[in-house]
Amino acid sequence: MAGKRIQREIKTIEKMIKIYEKTYPAPIESPNFYQELFSYAVNRLEKCRYGEEKPACKQCPIHCYQPKMREQMKLVMRWAGPKMLIHHPILAVRHLLDDRKPVPDLPAKVNKRTAKSMGHDE
């Protein structure tokens, strides 16, 4: 089971997706789109190489999201992020504080070759 930080990130993403979905319902041809996006995000968080010390995803040198999913999550976060201050202020503030943390060094189990193959260009 994921630690407290990862669990909080999962909860934050879930709330953001729900806020976004209220205004932008899933397309008819893909009714489970937001559930699939959420499941994908949870999978990525649970497999994060940084674990509990993870940086904010937008600052992370390892871009583990597929480009299409990453763009969709950016849309969700850009739109729902400001609304989180009204709907879920504690989660929003904690997320903002996490954004301010410096990016830790790559964990030992991630070498430069692995990071490069995952989209990190040094």
pLDDT of residue 118: 52
Report domain extents, the chain.
4-117
pLDDT per 10-residue tile (average), the chain, 122 residues: 89 98 94 97 94 87 92 96 96 91 77 52 42
The residues, ordered by sequence, that sit 6+ positions from 84 with a Cβ below 8 Å of its Cβ are 12, 15, 16, 19, 91, 92, 95
pLDDT of residue 82: 96
pLDDT of residue 103: 86
First-to-last alpha carbon distance for the chain, in angstroms, is 32
DSSP letters of 9-59?
HHHHHHHHHHHHHHHSPPPTT-TTHHHHHHHHHHHHHHT-TTGGGPPPGGG
